[in-house]
Amino acid sequence: MNLPHEDPSSTMWWSAIVQWRNWPLLVKLGVVLVVPVVGALVLGVLRVRADVDLADSYASIERVAATRVQIVRVLSALQHERNEAVGAGAGLPRAMAATDAAIADVTTAIGATSSDQARIAGTSDYRELVGALGSLVAARGQRAADADGLVVLSGYNAVTGAVLEFDRSLVGRFPDQNLTNTSIALGELQAVREQVALQQAIGSLALRDNALSDAGRQLMIEAGVRLEDQLGDFRSVASPALRERYDTTVTGQDATTRQQMVDAARTMGPAQARFTADQWNAVSDTTVGQLTEVTQLAAAGLRADSNELAESISDRAGLESVLLLTMVLLAAGVGGGLGRYLLRSVGLLRRAALAAAHTGLPAAVARIRAGERENVAIEPVPLRTTEEFGQLARAFDAVHEQAMRSAAEEAGLRGNLANIFTNLSRRSQGLVERQLRLMEQLEQKTDDPDQLANLFKIDHLATRMRRNNENLMVLSGTGALRRFTEPVPLPDVLRAAISEVEHYERAIVRSVPDIRVIGYAAGDLIRSVSELIENATAFSPPGSVVAIESRLRGDGSVMIDVLDDGVGMGEAELREANHRVAGGGGVDVPISRQMGLFVVGRLTARHDIRVRLSVRADGGLCASVLVPAGLVGADESALVPAAIPASTVPTGAVAGRLESAGITVTLPDLPSASTPASILFAASAPAPDPRFTWMDTPGGRPEREATPPATPVAAGPDGLPKRVPKGQLLAPPARQQPSTTAKRDAARARGFLSGFQSGIRQSEKRRGEETS
C-alpha cells in the first residue's frame, strides 16, 4: 500500500504554528495587531469593491437606457412609416428616410466597443432585430408592388415586433427596485404605443380601401385588448410620478375622440363612421405623440436615475476607500506605538534583570560577603508607570530585595560556619601540637628501634593532620597560617612539600633551578605543591613514581610540573578540576572528594600563582604551577617581602627567655636556618648515639644495635649501662662527613630536631599570649 506523500513545507509551517509559544514577542505582537487590521482591510476592500461594481452596474444601466432612448426613436419612425405605407402614402419617402436614419443611429450605438454594447450585440434578440430590420426592405417592396394592405401591414408588424422584443430584453433586473420598475414601465409604454399605432395603421388602411375587412377588424379588437392589458401592467409597476405624468399627458379630448373613432370604425366601418382620414390621423398622431412624450420621458428618467445612482455609489466607494485607508493608517500608528511601548518596556525589564543577575547581584553579594552590610542595594528598575509593566518592575525590585536579604542571611551563615570551622580547626590544631610534643618526648625516651619507627610514622600522620586542619582553616577563609621572614630556596620548598605527603618515598625531584621564593608566599606554595603531590600519589599505581620538575622561564617566572602515571581524568572532570584550582569554586560546591584542589585554588589565588591540570600524552596527569616572576629571584637581595608577620622567633630570643626564667639551655652549633625545611634538609648530620650502631636490615628498615656506652653514661647496680635523662636531647653536630657505610635517614634527622621545633612552637604560643 502506498502511503500518501506529505509535503515537507506544509509540515514545517504547521510545526512553526504549533510552537507559537516560542515565537518572539515582536512576532506575537505583530500577529495580534496585524490579523485584525488585515481582516478589517479585507472586509473594507470587499465592500469598496462591491460598491465599485454597483457603480459600474448603474453606469451600465445608464448606457442601456441611452440605447432604449434610441429604440424609442426607431419604433416611432417604423410606426410612422407603417402608417404611411398602408395609408395614402403621400409622406412615405420622408418617413422611410427618417426610419433609415434612426436605424443607423441605434446600430452604430450598439456596435460600439464598450463591454455593454458588446454584450447587447451578442444576444439572440439583437440578432433577431437585425434580421427583422433586414426584412424591412421586403415590406417596402411589397408596398411598392401594390400588394394587399394586410400583407404590407403584416410585414411592418414583424419589424416592430422584433424591436419591441429587443427592448424587452434590455429591461433586466437592476440592483435598485425603482430602476427595475421604471425599466419595466418603459417597456409597457412602448407596447401601449405600439397598440395605438397599430390601430391607427388598421384605420388608415380601412379609410384607404373605404372598408374594414374582418381580419382588420379582428386585428383592431386584439390591439385594443392588448392595449388595456399592457396599460394595466404599466400602472402596476410605474412610479407614482410616472403614472401621474401619463394621466396628465395621455388624457383629454384627443384621447377620448380617438377612442370613439376606434369604437366606431370597429363596429360600423369607415363608411358609417363619418370621419375622414385626416381627422383619424390627426387624432391618432396626437395620442401617439403623447405616448411618445411619456415614453421618452421615462427613458430619460431611467438614464438620469442610473447616472445619479452610479455617481453616488462611486462617491461612496471613494469615501469608503479614504476612510478605510485612514483607519488602516490609524490602526498601524496606534498598533506601532503600542507595540513600541510594549517592546521598550519588555526590553527595559529584560536589560534590568540581566544587569542585576550578571552585575548588580554578584557585586552586591560580593560586598555583603566581604563584610559590608550598609548601603548595599541594587538600582531599581527604571520603569515608573502604574500599569502592568510598572507592577512587574516593582515585582522585580521585590525579588532583588529578597535576594539581598537572602544574601545577607547567607553571608551571616557563612560567617558563622567560618567561625565554627576556624574554632574547630584551632582546637584540633592545638591537640595535634600537643600530640606532636608528646611524640617528641616519647621519641627522646625510646630506645627500641621498632617503637621509634612507629613513633616516626605517627609523627608523620600528625603532620598530615595538621595540614588537614590548615586546609579547614583555608575553607573558613582564614588568612595565611605559615609565613617565613626570609626567602626560601626552591629545593627546600619542594622537599618540604614532599615531607607533608603520606607516600613521600614515591616522590622524587628531578630538576630544580637555583632560585629562591619570597618568604610570605613560600608557605602557601609548599602547601599547594604538597596537595598536588598528594593527589598524584593517591590516584596513581602504588609502585609508580611521582616526579617533580621545575624550570626557569624566559620571563623570570618558574614552572613547577607534578607528573604522575595515574588513570587520568575525563574532559568534563578535567574542566571542573581546572575551574577549582583556578579559584572559581565557592564553598557551597561539593568539595568533599576534591578539597585539595579547592585549597590549592584558594592558596594560589592569593599570590596570582596559576595552576592548570592537563592530560599527558603517555598517560597520567601533569599539574603545572606557574609562579610569577615577582615571587622568585636568584638571590635574597632581589626579594623584599612587602609585609611579613612575625611568625618565627629567633632561637636567641628563645634562649634568652628560658635563661630569664632560670633555665640554662645549651644549643648545638647548627647552621643558620629560618624555616623548618632548611633545618630539615640543610643541617649537618647529628652525632651518632655512642650506645647504638645503625645498620640496614634485609627489609630495608634501619635498626639500632647496642654498643658500649660513652659519656655521659652512668653504670647501674648490675654493671649495665644506664641512660642519662635528656642526655641525647641535642647532640653537637659532627663537623666531619658521615661514614660512607652509614645510610642517611631523613626521618632520623627529623626526630633529633623535633625537640628544637617544639621549643620554637612553645615560644611562639607564649609570645602570642603575652601580646594578647
**Residue 439 CA: distances (Å) to CA of 433, 453, 679:** 10, 11, 19
Give the model's pLDDT for residue 517: 93
Q: For 444-472, write each residue's pLDDT tens digit.
A: 887 888 888 888 788 778 777 777 777 77
Q: 506523500: which residue's cell?
A: 5
CB within 8 Å of 695: residues ≥ 6 apart = 702, 703, 704, 705
Residue 487: Cβ within 10 Å count: 26
Pairing of strands 702-706, 692-696: antiparallel
Report whether pLDDT(626) > 70.
yes
**Greater confidence, 22 or 530?**
530
Q: For 666-685, write each residue's pLDDT tens digit.
A: 444 433 333 344 334 333 33
- The alpha-carbon radius of gyration of the chain (Å, integer) is 64
Give percent above pLDDT 70 in the chain.
73
Give the model's pLDDT for residue 204: 85
Give the model's pLDDT for residue 712: 35
- Please state the φ and ψ torsions of residue 552, each to the nearest 5 degrees: -90, 125
What is the pTM for the complete model shown?
Answer: 0.46
Confidence at 714, pLDDT banded by 50, 70, 90: very low
Confidence at 719, pLDDT banded by 50, 70, 90: very low
- Please state the φ and ψ torsions of residue 387, each to the nearest 5 degrees: -85, -165
Residue 162: Cβ within 10 Å count: 21
Report whether pLDDT(549) > 90.
yes
Give percent above pLDDT 90 in the chain.
8
Report whether pLDDT(649) > 50.
no
CB within 8 Å of 472: residues ≥ 6 apart = 421, 424, 425, 428
User: Which residues on neighbouring strands pair with residue 461, listed in sequence order?
Assistant: none
Q: For 586-605, write each residue's pLDDT tens digit.
A: 555 445 556 778 788 888 88
Report whether pLDDT(49) > 60.
yes
Confidence at 13, pLDDT banded by 50, 70, 90: low
Confidence at 766, pLDDT banded by 50, 70, 90: low
Would you state the cell numbers that stand for residue 54, as one nine-digit string? 454597483
Give the burial class of 146: count Cβ atoms within 10 A of its Cβ; 0-12 exposed, 13-18 middle, 19 or more buried: exposed
User: Which residues on neighbouring strands pair with residue 547, listed in sequence order?
Assistant: 508, 563
Give the model's pLDDT for residue 767: 52
Report whether pLDDT(3) > 60.
no
Report whether pLDDT(473) > 80.
no
CB within 8 Å of 469: residues ≥ 6 apart = 425, 428, 429, 432
**Greater confidence, 159 or 110?**
159
Q: For 149-188, write each residue's pLDDT tens digit.
A: 888 888 888 888 888 888 888 776 667 788 788 888 888 8
Give the model's pLDDT for residue 559: 94
Report whether pLDDT(196) > 80.
yes
**Residue 489 CA: distances (Å) to CA of 118, 495, 515, 744:** 115, 10, 6, 22
Note the Cα 456 to chain centre separation in Å.
67
Report whether pLDDT(550) > 90.
yes
Give the model's pLDDT for residue 761: 57
Helix ranges restricted to H, 582-650: 595-605
Q: For 559-576, write each residue's pLDDT tens digit.
A: 999 999 888 888 888 888
Q: 624555616: which residue's cell?
A: 675
**Residue 332 CA: distances (Å) to CA of 29, 36, 343:** 12, 11, 16
Mean pLDDT of 508-516: 90
- Please state the φ and ψ torsions of residue 519, each to the nearest 5 degrees: -60, -45
Min mean pLDDT across 5-14, 248-257, 358-367, 381-390 is at 5-14
Nearest-angstrom CA–CA distance, 641 and 638: 10
DSSP state of 370: T
Q: For 267-287, write each residue's pLDDT tens digit.
A: 766 666 677 888 888 888 888
Report whether pLDDT(655) > 60.
no
Would you state the cell numbers that stand for residue 531, as one nine-digit string? 596537595
Q: Cis peptide before 709, with omega less than 30 degrees from 0?
A: no
Q: For 303-336, write each residue's pLDDT tens digit.
A: 888 888 878 888 888 888 888 888 888 888 887 8
DSSP state of 20: G
DSSP state of 360: I
Would you state the cell numbers that stand for residue 612, as one nine-digit string? 592548570
Nearest-angstrom CA–CA distance, 187 and 170: 9
Q: What is the 3 state secondary structure string of 387-399?
A: CHHHHHHHHHHHH
**What is the average pLDDT value for the chain, to the nearest integer?**
74
Min mean pLDDT across 146-150, 473-477, 489-493, 578-582 is at 473-477
Nearest-angstrom CA–CA distance, 249 and 261: 19
Report whether pLDDT(340) > 60.
yes
